[in-house]
Copies of this chain bind each other. A is one copy, B any other.
Amino acid sequence: MANKKITSRDIDFAQWYTDVVNAAHLATYSNVKGCIILEPSGYAIWEMMQKKLDKMFKETGHKNVAMPMLIPENLMNKESELINGFAPEVAWVTMGGSKKLEERMCIRPTSETLFSDYFATKVKSYRDLPLKYNQWCSVMRWEKETRPFLRSREFWWQEGHTVHSTQEDAEKETKDMLNIYKTFFEKYLAIPVLTGKKTEKEKFAGADYTLTIEALMYNGVSLQSGTSHYFGQRFSKAYDIKFLNKDNELENAYQTSWGVSSRMIGALIMVHSDDDGLVLPPNIAPIQVAIIPIGDDSKVQNLVNETYTKLVDNNVTAYVDNTDKSPGFKFAEAEVNGIPVRIEIGARDLENGLVTIARRDTKEKYQIPYDTNIVEYVKELMNKIQEDMFNKAKIRNESKTYECHKLEEVEEIMNNNPGFVKAMWCGNEECELKMKEIRGTKSRCILENHEPIDNKCIVCGKDAKELVVWGIQY
């Protein structure tokens, strides 16, 4: 009994995605081309993500700041690789009020420029280092094609920017933050991710190297889900960030940056949701439990209120649906909105001393005695749901991960049942471009500490250097 407003994901995945976004009221297009509105249900998920991540950032010594949203052109130009990367896709402010600006400014597509310029004024000695800052904001990239959460002109994100006195310290930060992202995805979003290094072609413009977490959607398409960049001294040389080191010599500092965005909401949808709507893992769901009275019997209402109070007093988020809609309608609404657990309390069940608990992910229903310790029961069930959702995604990923030795195999897979393809690569960009001819297949990441699976590059047949995961992408 699937939701009628939602196309089946096995019939038309793209339409299914749009239908889920609309049916769960997560976001809608505005009259500003290519820009979305995060509606209350979508923003509540973003707030949960912010809350959990922000705690992890602060526990590891990061501090929040806010930078201006505009970047003057001359400042942007200082880092030439960066501007080449972003120039085609920024919004330019040329007028202030009715006056033409002497110098145009772009709306930040990212803030390496502003942070570097700021760090240059702050950093004098190795004693000042490291500086580990983060900001929550929106950024703007002038994309041509857009899809809610996955790609829109404006999107919401966090960008961490740090500056260190040694290469070792900065490289450690780059790795540590990638691991925080991995932990966040696995523990809260119930999404397993691959981690590795981007190829030169796919790395962030201006970085020495980029580490990435890559997730696989239900339809086998890859999603770059978070990145952590090591800059070495590139920005510190362009922006003159120098400090007196322990030997009392001036040295350019070492930097990193890292970010995840509202795109994660798209990943949540495409990994877990189904033809009935959104499915949210309990650890990230803004509301974890829906309590639905059946009938308005006073015994029912009393137990509904008691259950609600017990849950919220024990830090389980819940709501009671006391509207005058039918129970069936309320069930469907809780389902489409992805509420992980539903408690149905009705007079007939109560006569037998029972209430009904439904889990959103599997649609299973359990009848339990109403004298059960409901808080404990729900918490255990939520742990189970969280774990099961992660494992289900993991098993699917494994079933969609392939080892290939010939291009024809890749072609066969990407055209029929795409996923992560492991294959050896010579390190040459030409071979990446050849691979791209297969439905836009790109390198996701270079796997580290993995045994080679062949000694030849899958494309050119020359000596292989790296084991790479490939995939088609959003």
A-side interface residues toward B, CB under 8 Å? 28, 30-32, 35-40, 43-44, 46-47, 63-72, 75, 87-98, 104-105, 107, 114, 117-118, 121, 133, 137-138, 140, 142, 154, 156
Known: A32-B105, A44-B64. A91 touches B72 (CB 8 A): no
| A86 to B: closest C-beta gap in Å | 10
Other contacts beyond A43-B65, A68-B154: 4, CB < 8 A = A37-B68, A43-B64, A91-B93, A137-B138
Cβ contacts under 8 Å, A114 to chain B: 30, 32, 37
Would A40 and B66 count as touching, CB distance under 8 A? Answer: no
Please name 24 pairs of A and B residues whose Cβ atoms are closer than 8 Å in the assembled complex, sorted by A. Answer: A28-B121, A31-B72, A32-B70, A32-B71, A32-B105, A35-B70, A37-B114, A37-B118, A38-B66, A40-B63, A44-B63, A44-B64, A68-B154, A69-B140, A87-B98, A90-B96, A91-B96, A92-B93, A92-B95, A92-B96, A93-B93, A93-B107, A97-B142, A137-B138
Known: A38-B66, A65-B40, A70-B32. A88 touches B92 (CB 8 A): no
| A314 to B: closest C-beta gap in Å | 18
Cβ contacts under 8 Å, A92 to chain B: 93-96
| A132 to B: closest C-beta gap in Å | 10
Cβ contacts under 8 Å, A37 to chain B: 65-68, 114, 118
In the complex, A37→B117 CA distance in Å? 11
Would B93 and A88 count as touching, CB distance under 8 A? Answer: no
Cβ contacts under 8 Å, A69 to chain B: 69, 107, 138, 140, 154
Would A88 and B94 count as touching, CB distance under 8 A? Answer: no
In the complex, A251→B229 CA distance in Å? 54
Cβ contacts under 8 Å, A39 to chain B: 65
In the complex, A376→B140 CA distance in Å? 49
Which residue from chain B places its CB closest to the CB of A98 in the assembled complex? B88
Would B98 and A31 count as touching, CB distance under 8 A? Answer: no
Cβ contacts under 8 Å, A154 to chain B: 68-70
Which residue from chain B places its CB closest to the CB of A137 in the assembled complex? B138
| A19 to B: closest C-beta gap in Å | 18
Cβ contacts under 8 Å, A67 to chain B: 30, 37
- Choose among B66, B88, B140 the residue that contacts A43 (Cβ–Cβ < 8 A): B66
Which residue from chain B places its CB closest to the CB of A68 in the assembled complex? B35
| A310 to B: closest C-beta gap in Å | 20
- Choose among B32, B91, B97, B133 the residue that contacts A40 (Cβ–Cβ < 8 A): B133
